[in-house]
Amino acid sequence: MNDDLVPSRLSPADVLRVGAVGLRARRARVVLSALGIAIGIATMVAVVGLSESSRADLMARLDRLGTNLLTAEAGKDATGRRIQLPENAVAMVERVGPVLHATATADVDARIRRSDVVPDERTAGVTTQAARPDLLTALGGRVAEGVWLDPARERLPATVLGAVAAERLGVARTGETIMMNDIRVVVVGILEPIELVPTLDRVAMVGFPAAERYFGFDGHPTTVFERSTDASVEDVRAVLARTISPGDPAGVKVSRPSDALAAKAATDEGLTTLMLGLGAVALLVGGVGVANTMVVSVLERRQEIGLRRALGATRGAVRLQFLTESLLLSALGGAAGALLGAAATYGFARVQGWTAVVPPWSLAGGLGATVVIGVLAGLYPAVRASRLHPTRALQAV
C-alpha cells in the first residue's frame, strides 16, 4: 500500500505564501537587502528616463528652431588675413533655387561703453555688429523687451542688445543709452537668448545704414545666414561657399548651428551609457546582498528545513521555497526601485520644464533584471538548503 503514496505538491499560491512567511519573519534584513536592488533599478530607470526626457526636449527644440539654417562666415586666406565677403553676398545666395531666406550680419569697429564716464577699454566684453531687419525672422529670435530694427530705426543711432550684452552693460529696459565710440546710442530692444546662434547674445546690433553713417562701416557682411528646404540643406551646403566667394570658396566657413545641438545629444547618450553602467554595478551589489541574506537565512533555519524534510517535504519543495523567497525579495526591491526611478524622472523633468518620458521598456527591463538577479542570488542557497540531511538539521542548535 505504501507504493501508492505520492508526495504532495505545493500549489503556486502555497509556494508564494511559504516564501512570504520567510520574508516577514526577518523584516529589517529584508528591507536592507531589497534596498540595494532598489537603488540599482532606480538608478537605471531614472538615467534612461532623464536621457529620454532630455532628448525629447532637444528634439522639440530642434523642431521649433529648425535644422535648415546654414551660416557662412568669412574665414582667412593663405596669409592669415580675414577675407571680405562681397557686399551683395545675400543677393547672390538668394538666387540659389532651394534657398527660402538669406540675411547677414557684419562686424563693426565700435567700442561699447555703458556711459561716457567709463574708460574706453571697459567694453564689458560686448561687441558691435550690423544687422539687417530680417535677421530676427531668419533666426527665429524674439524680442524680450522693446522692438527690433525696422527700416526706419536701422538708419538711426539705435541699437538692440543681445540678452547677455544687456546684462553685462546693466541695461534693464529700453530707452536707456549706451556709448558706441563717442556716439550716444538709444537701446530700442533687448532680445531673448538666440539658441541657434548664441554668439549674438553678447552683441549690440545696429542697422547697416547706421553702421555706415556713424561708424565707417564698409558694407561687407561677415556672416551670411541662409534657410532652405529641409530636403535640400546638404545640397545648398555644398554650393554655398562657391556662391558667396567664387574666387576663394576655401575662405568661407559653412556650418549648420543645429549640429551643435545634435552633438550635445550624442554627448548625453555617452553619459547615459556611463550612468547605466554605474546602475548595473549597484544592481550587482544588491544581488550579492540578496545572496548573502539567503545564505544566512538557510544557516539560521536549519531546524525548520530538517523538520519539513522529516515531515515529507522533497528536496525540490525546499529548493522552490528558498528560490521563491529570493525572487520575492528581489521583486520587492525592483518594484520599489522602478517607482522611485520613475518618480525621480518626473520630478526632475518638471523642474527643468521638460516633458517627462519614462519608456515602458525601461520599467519592464528593470523588473526583468530583478527576476534574473533573484534566480542567480537564490540558486546556491536553495540548493544548499535542499541538501541538508533531516537528521543533522534537526540536531542543529
Given the DSSP bridges, would you call strands 99-108 and 223-228 parallel, antiparallel or unpaired? antiparallel
Rounded Cα distance between 324 and 83, Å, is 75
| pLDDT tens-digit series, residues 296-317 | 777 666 677 777 777 777 777 7
Distance of CA 11 to CAs 15, 18, 192, Å? 6, 11, 67
Phi/psi of residue 66, nearest 5 degrees: 90, 145
Amino acid 356: pLDDT: 85
Which residue, among 69, 74, 43, 45, has the nearest Cα to 262 in the 3D structure?
Answer: 69
Rounded Cα distance between 246 and 243, Å, is 6
Amino acid 397: pLDDT: 46
Amino acid 296: pLDDT: 72
Q: What are the cell numbers at 121? A: 577699454
Q: What are the sequence ranges of the domains in the chain?
A: 11-62+262-395, 68-256
User: Facing residues of 205 across strands?
Assistant: 129, 160
Amino acid 164: pLDDT: 93
List, for the chain, all residue ranges whose pLDDT scores fall below the cut of 70: 1-11, 14-15, 18-19, 21-23, 25, 59, 61-66, 77-80, 120, 258-279, 282-283, 286, 299-302, 389-397
Rounded Cα distance between 169 and 123, Å, is 9
Q: Quick check: 70 and 233 in contact, CB under 8 A?
A: yes
Amino acid 267: pLDDT: 53
